[in-house]
Amino acid sequence: MKWDGVREHCDKWRCITYGVLLGELAEKYGDKTAVVCEDERISYSELDTMSDSLLAYFLSLGLKKGDIVVLQVPNSLELAVTLFALFKGGIIPVMTLPAHGRYEISGICRLSSPKAYICMDTECHSGCIAVAESVAEENACIRHMITGKDIRRQAELGNVPADYEKPDYTDIALLLLSGGTTGIPKMIPRTHGDYIYDNTVIGERCLLGSDSVFLAVLPASHNFTLGNPGMLGTLMYGGRVVMSDSVSPMEIFGCIEAERATYTAMVPSVLGMCIDYRRDDDSDDISSLSFVMTGGAMLPKETEECAEEVLGCKLLQIYGTAEGLNTCYSPTDELRPDSGRQGIPISPYDEILILGADGEPLPNGQAGEMVTRGPYTITGYYNNPEANAESFTPDGYYRTGDLAVLNGRGELTLLGRAVEQINKGGEKIMPSELENNIRKYDKVADCSVAGIPDKELGSAIAAFIVPLDEEVGLRELRDFLRESGVAAYKLPDIVVNVKSFPLTAVNKVDKKRLVREYAGERR
């Protein structure tokens, strides 16, 4: 494979673990603030010392290298300290989100047999405790319940035994989560070596340095916020991480002003809310903001066109998968008119192919399913042979499930999810294309398009509309789209007016829930 020699030839590859890396950072940056959450701050040296003490506690419980634990901790100092303690001991966290419930986590337990469950016990996160207790009752493999109080107490006590078994850079550092067709997330094994490489090269692409200040508003257990470049990438370059667990625009802009944040990461729905808020209230001083990264879903054209003007900073669209591949531009890049919106791969060792319906590679400029492999892209999910057979080609390419186009300069334009394609009587419709056209209707505030089962056609097209004022009817919407030049086979069959869209744990529109809850409400 093309990247076989990357470790020998690439100066960005470091054959170390996160524990060793934190020790280097603590020695270099010492009392410099590493992580902030509300009124609390810890330095690089404190993060190193506190994670050592917490590791001593984990080892005293009998946890050891290779053991798996469920980590369900929101954005907080506790998350940073716990994560590095686990890294140091080679104890593997499954990075669950605060919003995950008993169903998802029970499924994870069946696949991974975790020895412990780590969660917060504050009043505002009491739901996590209830989930943890319920899951622990059903899974005898969970021997220890560790709460935020335990983390606080143990992070200031104890010394790590000198003879404990340390991880190697080739060992799994953490298990990220990917959505599954059954609702049970697939677990993504990222090693110390490949994830540090990932953090390093994307941090370099984003021009991070010791003056960088990252505001984490999305859950930091999610790959986008954790390491692209996110919390880990920012720390790696000596910057400061500001933890927030609110996606309220008022809170976001207040944090940017208070901490002089230089960048943040948002999914399009949160970005759109921030733009709307900023138009009404621009009193917060956000002049420190250099760029905003957005990814995780298709970005509406209207949002893209006004984001930089309204926020006064660069907008970087990123394509990223928890399985590996990341593409984006640098904040200083000047884009040509035909530039791909999602940029170029962050590593010269990344390989991308665009496949046609016959599975054969397509030439530049043609749309098809994107597959990829490279030095930081996984070659299989954890303990999931069925998913591996479906998601990876025999020659090691990961099937992203995304439709994309590459131009001659290797720039990527994402068109949407191949699995979201609506097959209506043999005609293929991309929801994102129809959504962009529907948003142009002056009675529509926002929309989401999905396929719903239909006995005759296989799938019918449902348009879920958030109206500006009065409800939007099917006939008037079809008339508008027809007059706009949209092909007849792409016109919606059903219009459902909703007050707002349900969101997933990472603030993407939950189309499965939309279909499940509203498909019967035909107007």
Confirm if 66 and 192 have CB atoms less than 8 A apart.
no
pLDDT tens profile 489-499: 789 999 999 99
H or E segment to which residue 266 belongs = strand 263-266
Over residues 244-266, mean pLDDT: 96
In sequence order, what are the residues at sequence separation of 6 or more whose Cβ sits closer than 8 angstroms to the Cβ of residue 395? none
Q: Is 334 exposed, middle or buried (0-12, 13-18, 19+ CB in 10 A)?
A: exposed
Q: What is the DSSP letter of 418?
A: G
Segments making up each domain of the chain, as ranges = 6-245, 318-418, 421-518
Q: Which residue has the higher pLDDT, 183 or 253?
A: 253
Report pLDDT for 181.
43
pLDDT tens profile 275-314: 999 999 999 999 999 999 999 877 888 889 899 999 999 9
How far from chain centre, in Å, is Cα 261? 20
In angstroms and rounded to an integer, the radius of gyration of the C-alpha atoms of the chain is 23
The SS3 call for residue 116 is strand
pLDDT tens profile 438-476: 999 999 999 999 998 887 677 899 999 999 989 999 999
| Residue type (1 letter), 84 | F
Q: Among 324, 424, 444, which residue's Cα sits nearest to residue 378? A: 324
What pairing do the DSSP bridges indicate for beta strands 291-294 and 263-266?
Answer: parallel
Q: Where are the beta strands (DSSP E) in 106-232?
A: 116-119, 144-146, 172-178, 186-191, 213-216
| pLDDT category of residue 4 using cuts at 50, 70 and 90 | low
Confirm if 435 and 448 have CB atoms less than 8 A apart.
yes
Indicate the fold that domain 6-245 takes in CATH. Rossmann fold (3.40.50)
Report pLDDT for 319.
94
| Residue type (1 letter), 67 | D
Cis before 229? omega within 30:
yes
Confirm if 158 and 60 have CB atoms less than 8 A apart.
yes
pLDDT tens profile 311-358: 999 999 999 999 999 999 999 999 888 888 899 999 999 999 999 988
Confirm if 180 and 78 have CB atoms less than 8 A apart.
no
Q: Among 188, 164, 184, which residue's Cα sits nearest to residue 86? A: 164
In sequence order, what are the residues at sequence separation of 6 or more whose Cβ sits closer than 8 angstroms to the Cβ of residue 288? 213, 256, 257, 260, 261, 262
Residue 60 CA to residue 150 CA, distance in Å, equals 13
Distances (CA, A) of 172 to 18, 136, 463: 11, 24, 42
Report pLDDT for 432.
83
- Structure token digits, residue 399: 């099937």
Q: Where are the alpha helices (DSSP H) in 40-179?
A: 44-60, 77-89, 102-112, 126-138, 148-154
Dihedral pair phi/psi, residue 23, rounded to 5°: -60, -40
Query: What CATH number should be reported for the domain whose range is 318-418?
Result: 2.30.38.10
Percent of the chain at pLDDT > 70 equals: 95
- Structure token digits, residue 216: 């984490």
Query: What CATH number should be reported for the domain whose range is 421-518?
Result: 3.30.300.30
Report pLDDT for 94.
98
Percent of the chain at pLDDT > 90 equals: 70
Report whether pLDDT(9) > 80.
no
CA-CA-CA-CA dihedral for 154, 168, 207, 237, to nearest 10? 40
Over residues 216-236, mean pLDDT: 96
Over residues 32-40, mean pLDDT: 97
The SS3 call for residue 324 is coil
Report pLDDT for 521.
47
| pLDDT category of residue 1 using cuts at 50, 70 and 90 | very low
The pTM score is 0.85
Report pLDDT for 523.
37
Confirm if 481 and 512 have CB atoms less than 8 A apart.
no
Report whether pLDDT(121) > 90.
no
For the chain, the average pLDDT equals: 91
| pLDDT category of residue 52 using cuts at 50, 70 and 90 | very high
Residue 523 CA to residue 521 CA, distance in Å, equals 7
